[in-house]
Amino acid sequence: MLNPLQPLFTDDWSIDRDSGVPAYEQIAERLVDLIESRRLVIGDRLPAERDLATWVGVSRMTARAALGTLAQRGMLERDVGRGTFVSRAKIEHDLARFAGFTEMARREGLSPKARIRAINEVPAPDLVARSLQIAAGDPAYRIERLRLADDEPLTLEDSWVPVALFPGLLDHDLRGSLYALMRDVYLRPPVRAVERLEPTLADPHQAQALGVAPGAPLMLITRVAFGADETPVEFARDRHRGDRSRFVVEASTPIP
C-alpha cells in the first residue's frame, strides 16, 4: 500500500546528484520546504528512515543525517519507539518592528507569561551605566525573568532600568509587560532600540530554566531601548531558545 507521503518525495522532486550539495542537506531542505508550505503540518509523522532512504535513493545513514539535522534545529521531534514528527513552528521575531516579548507572543497567537527569577535595586556596573547614560554606581533595577508562551519557556530576560526615571518600579507587578508599565504608569515607553545578535550556548543554569540541554544553541540579544526623547530606558540581555526562535530582518537598498 502506497504511503500517502511518498509522492511528496518522488513525484515532483528528486536529489540532484550534480549539484555538489550533500544528499542529506538536499533532503533536509526538501523537508523544510514541505513544512513551510504546510504540506507537512505540526504533528505529522514522517516516514521511517528506511522508507525515506528507499524513496529518494540514498543510504539509511544519509536519511538519518537529514532527519537529525532538522531535529537539532527544532523542526522535528524524534521519539524512540514512536517515530519522527513535525514539531511546533518557530516563533518569529521581527527585528524591523520594535516590540517586547508580550506583544510578540500575542501577535503569534500565544499567551505570554513571566516568572520572576530575581529583582533587585543595585549599583549600575560600568557597561550598564554607559549603556543607560548614567554614572557608574548609580542605582538601577535589575529584573531577571523567564518568559513563557503557552506555558513553554522560551526566553531568559536580564533587564536593567535606571531608578531615577522609574522610581518605585519594583512596587508594581512585573509578571506582565515591562514596556506597558513604562508607558501606562511612567509615560516613558520605549519607542526604538539598538539590538545586537550573537549566537551562544546554554550554560547549565540557563539550560535548566529553559528546558533544554546544556550546550544547546541560544540567541543572545543585547539591547538598549530609548524613549521618545532619546533617553535610554533599558539595557537588556535576552537569551532565546535557538530551537524555537527565528529572527527576521527586512532590508532594502535606498533609491538614489
The cell for 133 is: 547614560
Over the stretch 43-86, which tens digit does the pLDDT of each residue have? 888 888 999 999 999 999 999 999 988 887 778 888 777 888 88
Over the stretch 111-151, which tens digit does the pLDDT of each residue have? 888 999 999 999 999 999 999 999 999 999 999 999 998 88
Same domain, residue pair 120 and 170? yes
Please choose, from the candidates 240, 232, 81, 227, the residue with its C-alpha nearest in 3D space to the C-alpha of residue 152.
240
Over the stretch 161-186, which tens digit does the pLDDT of each residue have? 999 999 999 999 998 889 999 999 99
Q: Do residues 34 and 8 touch, judged by C-beta distance below 8 A?
A: yes
Does the model's pTM come out above 0.85? Answer: no
pLDDT at 73: 75
222's CB contacts (< 8 A; 6+ apart) are 195, 196, 198, 236, 237
d(CA 112, CA 119): 19
Domain-ending residue, one of 61, 86, 111: 86
Same domain, residue pair 67 and 98? no
The cell for 46 is: 514522517
**Could you give the 3-state DSSP secondary structure of residue 168?**
coil
pLDDT at 78: 80
Please choose, from the candidates 33, 19, 99, 31, the residue with its C-alpha nearest in 3D space to the C-alpha of residue 63.
31
**Total number of domains in the chain:** 2
Same domain, residue pair 96 and 80? no
* The residue type at 202: A
Same domain, residue pair 213 and 157? yes
- On whether residue 255 sits in a domain, the answer given is no
Same domain, residue pair 99 and 57? no
Residue 25 clears pLDDT 80, i.e. is over it: yes
Domain-ending residue, one of 86, 112, 137: 86
- On whether residue 256 sits in a domain, the answer given is no
Same domain, residue pair 82 and 123? no
pLDDT at 2: 66
The cell for 64 is: 538519518
Same domain, residue pair 64 and 191? no
- On whether residue 254 sits in a domain, the answer given is no
Q: Where in 81-175 does DSSP place strands (E)?
A: 83-86, 91-94, 112-123, 139-149, 152-162
Same domain, residue pair 14 and 96? no
| Residue-number span of the structural domain to which 58 is assigned | 6-86
| CA torsion through residues 114, 41, 212, 193, sign | negative
Same domain, residue pair 122 and 37? no
Q: Characterize the bridge pairing of strands 83-86 and 232-241.
A: unpaired
Same domain, residue pair 145 and 224? yes
Domain-ending residue, one of 86, 105, 132: 86
Confidence of residue 89 (pLDDT cuts 50, 70, 90): low
CATH of the domain at 104: 3.40.1410.10
Mean pLDDT of 229-240: 96
- On whether residue 20 sits in a domain, the answer given is yes
Cα dihedral 22/25/29/35 (nearest 10): 150
CATH of the domain at 63: 1.10.10.10
Confidence of residue 237 (pLDDT cuts 50, 70, 90): very high
Same domain, residue pair 60 and 180? no
Same domain, residue pair 121 and 187? yes
Mean pLDDT of 19-46: 87
- On whether residue 27 sits in a domain, the answer given is yes
d(CA 7, CA 25): 19
The cell for 180 is: 506597558
